[in-house]
Amino acid sequence: MLSLHITNETNRLKAVVLGLARNIGDQPSIEDTYDPKSLEHLKAGTYPEEQDMVKEIKAVEEVLKKHQVEVYRPKVIENYNQIFSRDIGFVIEDKFIIANILPDREREIEAIQHIIDLVPKENVIRFPEEAHVEGGDVMPHGDYIFVGTYRGEDYPDFITARTNTQAVKALAELFPNKTVKSFNLRKSNTDAKNNALHLDCCFQPVGKDKAIIHKNGFLEEEEYEWLVNYFGKENVFEITKEEMYHMNSNIFSISPEVVISEKNFTRLNAWLRENGITVEEVPYAEIAKQEGLLRCSTLPLIRE
């Protein structure tokens, strides 16, 4: 049995599900893309090759194992993209919440059923169908749960709007002792530089008391300001539009002292080191072309 335990984004990691890049099948057609960045690379002829993405995920696995993290993997489904395990589920405290994901990706959940089966049945939660949620939008942070959402009435028009207000309510009901704080995110189906696909595309806590943030990812300036004030301006690393586009906020913490980051994130990695954090650099620029990075590819199960 797995004793799940997740209360924040940074405590020492003990067990994680890491996505797979093998057997992902043919490149999607333009009509079948789910995000503007994949669309952009398909049109440009620069969509990532499977062998490059396999190497990138292998580099992450090696870092995790070096730090004595137990790494679980999905079962391989032929011709199916299984890289972004964070989308399909997430853990808060001892509960495993299965995400209500885009219907085309439902089989990704089947591929981790052998892991979910290790969790006591009463701790496996599935929200009602109308509560759309993906793990990239959900961040436990002590007494808070931060949730990225899109509150516009035109929610159904955005394939990039992944978590709705019904899911925010469902989380508040499931965790009555926590404050669920939602953030209205900027969405675009066509412009990757003006699209925060998930909350972790424009914000993430790091270290003991710090955070990475991009102002333009938030539709409501006061919600962005709330986060900056909560962490304290001196503890916040502001990323540029270009850095958000390259997913600089989507790194992954092994502990408050150790993070995995993309090797090209020069400015961010220097700031992390200045703040006493060890940066394990990996190549991840190919996977990033699908608008997902290190946090997106990992589903933490147990932290201290």
Whether 180 and 147 have beta carbons less than 8 Å apart is answered as: yes
How many separate helices (H) and strands (E) can be counted in the chain? 8, 15
**Which amino acid makes up residue 19?**
G
Residues 190-201 have pLDDT tens digits of: 777 787 889 999
Whether 167 and 152 have beta carbons less than 8 Å apart is answered as: no
Task: Please report the pLDDT score of residue 187 as a whole number.
Answer: 83
Residues 137-160 have pLDDT tens digits of: 999 999 999 999 989 787 777 777
Task: Please report the pLDDT score of residue 196 as a whole number.
Answer: 81
Q: Can you tell me the distance from the alpha carbon of 55 to that of 241, in angstroms, rounded to the nearest whole number?
A: 28
Residues 93-110 have pLDDT tens digits of: 999 999 887 777 788 999
